[in-house]
């Protein structure tokens, strides 16, 4: 059976990104692999071990501190038990809330959006 493993995001400052995903979003650093010959470092973060659920792979390419977003990327979605508390906790930890919690347009699902240090959008959905 196939299973979703991870999503890879290229980041400009690995320490800053790991801090955001662990300290602000509450994920754990699961593993790290530095590849000097390839001039990159990979850090896998998530809420559970990789054999239990999908994770995020943060890829830092030596010497590259910014990337162009393009217009194809949408967002990563995270389920949270209380959208208002989650947004406030993220804001208090220094995270950037770009869409305040509330119902989705033309619906009743409660959502909010936050942005990681590289500008990647993350949707919070109340479950």
Q: What positions carry a catalytic annotation? A: 123
C-alpha 11/C-alpha 30 separation (Å) is 17
On whether the CB atoms of residues 81 and 127 are closer than 8 A, the answer is: yes
Buried b (16+ CB within 10 A) or exposed e, 34-49: eeeeeebbbbbbbbee
């Amino acid at each position: 059976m196939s299973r979703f493993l991870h999503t890879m995001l290229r980041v400009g400052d690995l320490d800053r990104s790991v801090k955001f995903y662990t300290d602000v979003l509450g994920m754990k650093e699961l593993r790290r692999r530095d590849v000097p010959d390839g001039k990159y470092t990979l850090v896998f973060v998530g809420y559970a071990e990789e054999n239990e659920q999908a994770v995020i792979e943060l890829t830092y390419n030596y010497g590259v501190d910014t990337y162009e977003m393009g217009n194809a990327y949408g967002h990563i979605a995270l389920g949270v038990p209380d959208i208002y508390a989650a947004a406030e906790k993220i804001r208090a930890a220094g995270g950037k809330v770009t869409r305040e919690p509330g119902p989705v347009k033309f619906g009743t699902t409660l959502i909010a959006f936050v942005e990681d240090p590289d500008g990647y959008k993350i949707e919070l959905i109340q479950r």
